Amino acid sequence: MRAGFAQIAPAWLDGAETLEKVLDWISRAADESMDLVAFGEGLVPGYPFWPDLTGGAKFESEIQKELFAHYAKHAVDVAGGGLRAAEKLCAQRKIAVYLGVIERATDRSAHSLYASLVYIAPQGGIRSVHRKLCPTYEERLVWSPGDGHGLQVHEVGGFRLGGLNCWENWMPLPRASLYAQGENIHVAVWPGSRRNTHDITRFMAREGRSFVISASGLMHRDWIDTSLPHAATIIEGCDAAGSAWLADGGSCIAGPDGQWLVEPVVEQETLMWAEFDIDSVYRERQNFDPAGHYSRPDVTRLVVDRTRQATAEFEDGDG
């Protein structure tokens, strides 16, 4: 199996233009005979960098309200077919995709937003939408907490794929829920930071005795469209922070022995892949299988609720 990542920048806060770019990079991955390609967290329409740069915690802030409204309008209605073009392309090119999107969830009022990791099968069709369980720090000012519905694995090419968003990868129990389903390729998606991916990617590979793809995005101060709401204020915040890179990438791939197959790549758009051999998984699980012979379900067990959360149930009578 040939699998890897597309480390790209969004057309920041422009959902339609970013999705067109994603389609182009899916085609590039298919041209490289890749079976699976992963993209960064919240790539469509982009990560919410602005709260940290514009006083995001200020209550009743017009800046925050206007930016959120713009963000919501460019978010993806997954259930309403917002990724249909990507589904069609995956079916045509016979490639599997993990894509980070900001989801405007119609089953939760269609106004709150979720950082969702979407899996599109090589036959076409969305097979899971994992809404991030715990938005991190300032993300909580923009994103809503998700649920366990998307803690699923998928069969592709003799492997079982699973994925988590950003700091979820540091949560032992969500990782364990994927191990329990036989995951042997783990996709970790990030907004983009080598400091996040460098250590944990190899650790997860070693712990899970699995292949691990860390897929990150990119974002630079100079790529902020000056026509966006409050763009000048955001750019001023970047300058005050003293770093032009809001997200420097760091995408990488580790094998089941915890060794690098692709070391972290920074500050460039790129498509990288590695050849995955299932025998490598079996070799490393000879002495450690976290959900198999090296587990003690008689002592510790995990209960996972994969119900899609809802705020109401409706019973309509006849007539």
- DSSP codes joined into one string, 52-71: GTTTTT-TT-HHHHHHHHHH
Residue 223 gets the label, from left (phi > 0), alpha (psi -120 to 50) or beta, of alpha
Is the Cβ–Cβ distance between 100 and 39 less than 8 Å?
yes
**Nearest one of 316, 220, 302, 205 to 266, comparing CA atoms:** 220
Cis-peptide into 45, omega within 30 deg: yes
d(CA 44, CA 101): 5
Q: Which two tokens stand for residue 132?
A: 């991030």
Cite the active site residues: 41, 132, 166
Sort strands 2-7 and 270-275 into parallel, antiparallel or unpaired: antiparallel
Print the SS3 string covering 164-200.
Answer: EEHHHHHCHHHHHHHHCCCCCEEEEEECCCHHHHHHH
